[in-house]
Amino acid sequence: MPPDPHTENAADPAQEAARRRTFAIISHPDAGKSTLTESLALHCGAVQEAGHIHGKGDRGSTVSDWMSMEQERGISVTSASMQLEHRGTILNLLDTPGHADFSEDTYRVLAAVDAAVMLVDAAKGLEPQTMKLFAVCRHRGIPIITVINKWDRPGREALELMDEIREQTGLEPTPLTWPVGIAGEFGGFLDRRSGELVTVEPSAGGRHLAREQIRTPDEAAGADVDGWEQSVEESELLSASGADLDRETFQEGITSPVLFAAAVRHIGVPRILDALVELAPSPAPRPDVAGRDRALDEPFSAFTFKVQAGMDPAHRDRLAFIRVCSGVFRRGMTATTARTGKPFAMKYAHLSFGRDRDLTDLAYPGDVVGLVNASALTIGDTLYEAPPVEFPGLPRFAPEHFAVATPADRGRTKQFRRGMEQLESEGVVQVLRSERRGEEIPVLAAVGTMQFDVVEHRLTHEFRSAPRWETLPYGIARRTDEESAAALEAIGGVEVLRRGDGELLALFRDRWHVRGVERTREGLTLEPLVAA
C-alpha cells in the first residue's frame, strides 16, 4: 500500500534542502539540451535507455503523460521538472522550453532555480537565446556551470571558446576538465584538479553509459595519447592566468566552471552531475516581501512560478507549478494563498517525471510540485502554512513582440475584455495601455510569439470571443519615466505605454533605433529591461 501522506513521517526540511540542487539548462535550440537531459537521466537511473524523455518526432516517446496529452492538444506550454538522484543528492531539473514555444515562461523558470547549466555548442559558441537567458541569470545572481557540448564534432579551439565566454558574458571561465585532442576527436579529457587523464569508450549508438578509463598523470604521459601534452600545457597556462575553480566566486556569479562533453555519446556527463552536487548551491531561505528570510525549517511555504490553463475548455483544469521554499509539502494538505487569504487544498499533487511514483506525497525546499485544479492560483502567488509569509511577485521580462488585439465580433466585447483581464492576471501576456490608444485598446507584449498563440486560443475557445490582430512594428522596449515620456512620444516611431505593474515602457523598432535616439537626445531615461 502506498504511504499515507498525512501520517507519513517527513524528514527534516533543512536537512532535505541541504541535499537538493534545483537547476535549469539554458541554451539555444539545437545545442543539445534534450540530449543532455536524457543523458543525465540515464546516468541517474531514471530511464533505462536514452531516447525516452523528450519525445521529439523521430526519437522515442515521452515519459510524461501530461506532456503527450498536451502534444495532442497541439499546444504545449508546460515546463515540467524532472527529479534525479546522484550520489545521494536530489537534483531537480526544471525545463526551460526553448524552441518555438520560447516565451516569458522560459524566463520565469529561472526565478525558481538556484543554479543553471549553460549549454554551448562547441562549433557555434554563445548564441542569442543562450545570451538572453544568461542575462536573466546574471540579473538574478544565479551561478552558472558552463558545458561545451558536441566536442565529438569539429568545432572551435577550446581556448578560443574560453575567450568568447569571457568577452560575451563577463564570466571568468574556470575549466574543470580540458579536452585532449581537438574538437571532433574526443579522445578524452584532463581532469584539471586531479591531473588524471579520462578516456571514454562510448556504447554503440549511445544507448547506454560510456565506459571511462582513468589514468594517473604518469600513466597518461607513458601512454602516448594524442594531444595529451598539449592539453597539459594549456591547462598549466590556464592555471597561470588564474582560471582554476573557485567555489566562492562561482556562487557569486563571477566565475563559471567549464566542462567539455558530448552528450549524445554520454561523454563527460558524469562530471556534470558531480559538479552540480559538489558546487551548485542548495536551496537557501527565501526572503519575503519585507526582506525577512523564511527559514527552511519553518512551516510549509511555496510560490507559483508557472500556471498553465488547460487548453481544453471542457476541462477547466489548471496546473500550477510551485517551488517549495520552506517546510514540508504533503499531498492533501491545505495551505493559505497569501494574495487572497483563502485556503487552498492541494489534493492532487502531480508528479515530476523521472520519479517512479505518479503523485508526489512529500516534497521539500527546492522541489517542484504540479498542482491540479489550481484555478485559484496565479503566477507569483505565495502559499503557506501559518505563520503567514508572502514572497515578492515574479519579475516581468523584456518583451520583443507587440500587437493589438480587438474582438473580431463587436457583440462579444464584454467576454473579450473579461478574457484579457484573466490572461493578464495569469501572466500569459503583458498588457500595455496609453491614453493615446485608449484604455479599451491595449497593446499586448510578449517575449515570444507563442504567447500570442495562447491568447488567441484561449480567447477563442474559453471566452468565445476570437481576437483580430494587428502586429505593431516594434521589437524592443526600454524602461522610461514620466519626465522623458513626452519627449519620447514626440519622436517618430516611438510609443510610450504603461504596463500592468506600473512601469512605463518606450517601444522602438530595434536596438539601432534605440541607439539613434540615445545619441541624438541626451538625458532621456532609457533603461534596458531584463526583469522588474
Q: What is the Cα–Cα distance from 101 to 195, expressed in whole angstroms?
A: 43
**Is the dihedral angle over the CA atoms 516, 520, 521, 522 positive or is it negative?**
positive
CA distances 166 to 98, 151, 169, 237, 251, Å, are: 24, 19, 6, 16, 17
User: Beta-carbon neighbour count of residue 468 at 10 Å?
Assistant: 10
* Interacting residue with ligand GDP among 10, 30, 181, 208 (CB under 6 A): 30
Instruction: Find the binding residues for ligand GDP in span 83-142 (CB under 6 A).
Output: none
In this complex, which beta carbon is closest to ligand GDP, that of residue 50 or of residue 432?
50
- Residue 98 labeled ligand binder: yes
Q: Between β-strands 115-121 and 144-149, what pairing exists: parallel, antiparallel or unpaired? A: parallel
Q: What is the Cα–Cα distance from 168 to 104, expressed in whole angstroms?
A: 23
* Interacting residue with ligand GDP among 43, 86, 108, 150 (CB under 6 A): 150
In this complex, which beta carbon is closest to ligand GDP, that of residue 150 or of residue 294?
150
In this complex, which beta carbon is closest to ligand GDP, that of residue 101 or of residue 288?
101
**Binding footprint of ligand GDP, residue count (CB under 6 A):** 15
Q: Give min distance, CB of 281 to ligand GDP, in A.
A: 25
Residues contacting residue 221 through CB under 8 Å, at least 6 positions apart: 228, 229
* Interacting residue with ligand GDP among 62, 92, 129, 149 (CB under 6 A): 149
- Residue 393 labeled ligand binder: no
In this complex, which beta carbon is closest to ligand GDP, that of residue 5 or of residue 354?
354
In this complex, which beta carbon is closest to ligand GDP, that of residue 124 or of residue 437?
124
State yes or no: residue 146 binds ligand GDP (CB under 6 A).
no
Q: What angle do CA 31, 129, 472 make, to 5 degrees?
A: 140
State yes or no: residue 34 binds ligand GDP (CB under 6 A).
yes
- Residue 95 labeled ligand binder: yes
Stretch that binds ligand GDP, among 150-158, 330-338, 363-371, 385-393 (CB under 6 A): 150-158
Stretch that binds ligand GDP, among 12-20, 149-157, 277-285, 294-302 (CB under 6 A): 149-157
- Residue 35 labeled ligand binder: no
State yes or no: residue 29 binds ligand GDP (CB under 6 A).
yes
State yes or no: residue 32 binds ligand GDP (CB under 6 A).
yes
In the sheet that holds 115-121, the strands lie side by side as 81-86, 89-94, 20-26, 115-121, 144-149, 255-260, 172-175
Q: Are 69 and 78 in contact (CB under 8 A)?
A: no
State yes or no: residue 262 binds ligand GDP (CB under 6 A).
yes
Give me 80's grid cell: 515540467
Residues contacting residue 376 through CB under 8 Å, at least 6 positions apart: 337, 340, 342, 344
Question: How many residues are there in the chain?
Answer: 532
Site string for ligand GDP, 212-251 (x = CB under 6 A): ----------------------------------------
- Residue 141 labeled ligand binder: no
State yes or no: residue 264 binds ligand GDP (CB under 6 A).
yes
**Cell numbers 574526443 label which residue?**
186
Q: Give min distance, CB of 260 to ligand GDP, in A.
A: 10
In this complex, which beta carbon is closest to ligand GDP, that of residue 161 or of residue 296?
161
Torsion of CA 345, 351, 352, 354, to 10 degrees: 160
Residues contacting residue 417 through CB under 8 Å, at least 6 positions apart: 440
Give residues in contact with ligand GDP (CB under 6 A).
Answer: 27, 29-35, 149-150, 152-153, 262-264
